[in-house]
Amino acid sequence: MNWLVTGGAGFIGANFVHHLRRTSPGDRVVVLDALTYAGSLENLADALRDPHVRFVRGDIADRAAVSALFAEETFDVVANFAAESHVDRSIEDPGLFLRTNVLGTQVLLDAARRAGTPRFHQVSTDEVYGDLPLDRPDLLFTEETPLHASSPYSASKASADLLVLAYHRTYGLPATVTRCSNNYGPYHFPEKMIPLMITRALADQPLPVYGKGENVRDWLFVADHCAAVEAVARRGRPGEVYNVGGRNERTNLDVVRTVLRELGKPESLISYVKDRPGHDLRYGIDPAKIGRELGWEPKTRFEDGLRDTVRWYLEHRGWWEHILSGEYRSYYERMYGDRG
Ligand code: NAD
Ligand code: TYD
């Protein structure tokens, strides 16, 4: 198989490239990534020495560049991970999210359609469903839950999902969509909650918890998400959406306290800051369909996944210290400077 993995230099995309090299060493992988602030070739270091892996720097919204790549290569699967992915940044600059997440997806869909690519897989998020109330733990998102996005990020992802499903219905493009809950694990960019808390706690800096820390997310170890994407891209039914989640709901405060315990750091580092505008209260995924149809289940217990993740950040200080010393530093000042 010849895979096109867009966004393969980012957090989940890079984990997916490493995953494919383990599960399918005979497959070829072409990574298309613009290397924005969130992407780095360091995330792919070993993979880039593999003759089965090709890296192409390019923007998914650049029609000419995408056409040229599809003229050079014949892909069996396009797995679209490329996106602007951070909710807080989408509140600052929604336009960039529409360009990459919506128009970029459409450019890829057109290229796949013209080339007759046998499978287009869209990596999406549970955030397209909006949120659930905190006092109804019985309610979960299913694939039939109406789309009800809250942030510019989730609105752009919902728009992309609708385009992918429309290309299936209108043009017969064999497309699938996964909607996954919050991931954590190696290579997670330290603007996201778990790596932000790990790296700040290691430096004995305050941990900015939004609001009261009572918002709930369903955390899934990134390797489990990668296995789900592979299963759906290979065996999922075209035109179908599959929810992916960890059956592992936690309040933010609970997660932050677990990180502090793992690191042996005091809870006095927790600092409550002004809430995110439009902050989704709770995400809760029902992953029954992917379990029933494809036999996928989350395998990693949260306690184990978090311990491995903390260890990874301890063993890869160079990776994140490099990020924290660059452009990201001014981002942190801009985002959190007047929030406390
Ligand atoms: P990320 O921000 O870590 O990585 C995104 C990657 O896409 C980066 O390598 C970046 O350089 C690349 N990219 C951005 N714009 C591009 C463009 N115009 N052209 C080509 N490449 C571009 O994101 P992530 O957390 O790895 O998320 C990957 C995908 O999974 C996204 O589609 C996201 O919506 C989805 N998702 C993420 C989570 C999560 O918890 N992180 C959960 C569910 C779904
Ligand atoms: P995040 O990692 O940004 O993922 P998402 O917003 O896509 O779920 O945030 C996870 C949760 O953590 C979310 O409820 C917001 C909260 N959060 C904080 O409390 N402090 C922070 O500094 C960040 C980045 C997030």
Q: Going residue by residue through the chain, which has 340 residues, state the pLDDT in tens, using 9 for 90 and above.
A: 999 999 999 999 999 999 999 999 999 999 999 999 999 999 999 999 999 999 999 999 999 999 999 999 999 999 999 999 999 999 999 999 999 999 999 999 999 999 999 999 999 999 999 999 999 999 999 999 999 999 999 999 999 999 999 999 999 999 999 999 999 999 999 999 999 999 999 999 999 999 999 999 999 999 999 999 999 999 999 999 999 999 999 999 999 999 999 999 999 999 999 999 999 999 999 999 999 999 999 999 999 999 999 999 999 999 999 899 877 777 778 888 877 6
- Can you give the pLDDT at residue 325? 87
Q: Are 220 and 182 in contact (CB under 8 A)?
A: yes
If you take atom 44 of ligand 1, which residue's CA is the nearest one?
A: 125
Q: What is the number of the ligand 2 atom nearest to the C-alpha of 127? A: 7
Burial class (CB in 10 A: 0-12, 13-18, 19+), 115: middle
State the distance from the centre of ligand 2 to the C-alpha of 31, rounded, in angstroms. 28
If you take atom 5 of ligand 2, which residue's CA is the nearest one?
A: 87
Mutate to test the pocket of ligand 1, among 35, 85, 151 (most ligand atoms within 8 A of CB): 85
b/e for 155-190, b at 16 or more Cβ within 10 A?
bbbbbbbebbbebbeeeebbbbbbbbbbbbbbbbbb
SS3 label, residue 90 = helix
Structural domains of the chain, with CATH: 2-188+220-246+284-299+328-336 (3.40.50.720)
SS3 label, residue 280 = coil
Q: Which ligand is nearest to the CA of 134?
A: 2
Mutate to test the pocket of ligand 1, among 41, 42, 81, 89 (most ligand atoms within 8 A of CB): 81
Phi-psi region of 211 (alpha: psi -120 to 50; beta: other; left: phi over 0): left
Q: Which residues are catalytic?
A: 126-127, 153
pTM to 2 decimals?
Answer: 0.97
Q: How many CB atoms lie within 10 A of CB 318?
A: 9
Give backbone dihedrals phi and psi of 166, rounded to 5 degrees, phi first.
-70, -40
Q: Are 231 and 221 in contact (CB under 8 A)?
A: no
Question: 194: which residues sit within 8 A by CB, 6+ positions away?
Answer: 184, 188, 219, 255, 259, 306, 309
If you take atom 20 of ligand 2, which residue's CA is the nearest one?
A: 209
If you take atom 9 of ligand 2, which residue's CA is the nearest one?
A: 193
SS3 label, residue 39 = coil
DSSP 136-194: -TT--B-TTSPP---SHHHHHHHHHHHHHHHHHHHH---EEEEEE--EESTT--TTSHH
The DSSP symbol for 47 reads G
Q: Are 233 and 119 in contact (CB under 8 A)?
A: yes
Q: Which ligand is nearest to the CA of 9?
A: 1
Question: 325: which residues sit within 8 A by CB, 6+ positions away?
Answer: none
State the distance from the centre of ligand 2 to the C-alpha of 192, rounded, in angstroms. 6
Torsion of CA 167, 169, 172, 177, to 10 degrees: 60
pLDDT digits (tens, 9 = 90+) for 153-202: 999 999 999 999 999 999 999 999 999 999 999 999 999 999 999 999 99
If you take atom 23 of ligand 2, which residue's CA is the nearest one?
A: 193
State the distance from the centre of ligand 2 to the C-alpha of 104, rounded, in angstroms. 25
Token digits for 4? Answer: 């096109």
SS3 label, residue 57 = strand
Q: Which residues form ligand 2's pocket by a CB distance below 6 Å?
A: 87, 182, 192-193, 196, 208-210, 215, 217, 252, 276
Q: Are 34 and 9 in contact (CB under 8 A)?
A: no
SS3 label, residue 277 = coil
Q: Which residues form ligand 1's pocket by a CB distance below 6 Å?
A: 6-7, 9-13, 33-36, 38-39, 59-61, 81-85, 100, 104, 123, 125, 157, 180, 182-183, 189
State the distance from the centre of ligand 1 to the C-alpha of 81, rounded, in angstroms. 5
Measure CA of the first residue to CA of the last residue in the chain; give whole Å: 51
Q: What is the number of the ligand 2 atom nearest to the C-alpha of 279? A: 14
State the distance from the centre of ligand 2 to the C-alpha of 240, rounded, in angstroms. 29
State the distance from the centre of ligand 2 to the C-alpha of 59, rounded, in angstroms. 27
SS3 label, residue 236 = coil
